[in-house]
Amino acid sequence: MFGWNNWNKQPGIQCVDELAGPQDYWMTFKEVARHKHAYMATVRHWVNCGFLPVKRDSVHVDSKHPVNLHQGEPLVRLSDVQRIRDRF
């Protein structure tokens, strides 16, 4: 089971603790999906594969559901969303 102590050992998932700059802000998965015209499952896939880092204290990780949306709202940075925009 993956908990807070094992967060960085979860394959693929990347964590961030701070915003990248003064104009950066946190976004929910729903906001990212809307912004990217993608499904929530696609956003979760980006997080689970390491394409989109999540805020460390906004997510609960376990072995069956690497990003558990029911344990609070996971957050990602706008700057990271804009960075993957060119990749997909």
Q: At what angle do helices 29-36 and 78-85 cross, to 10 degrees?
A: 30
Residue 66, SS3? coil
AA identity, residue 49: C
Q: What is the total count of domains within the chain?
A: 1
pLDDT score recorded for residue 67: 55
- The one-digit pLDDT tens for each residue of the chain (88 residues) are 334 344 444 568 888 989 999 999 999 999 999 999 999 999 999 998 888 999 977 555 555 555 554 456 789 999 999 988 555 5
Structural domain containing residue 56 = 4-85
| CATH code of 13's domain | 1.10.1660
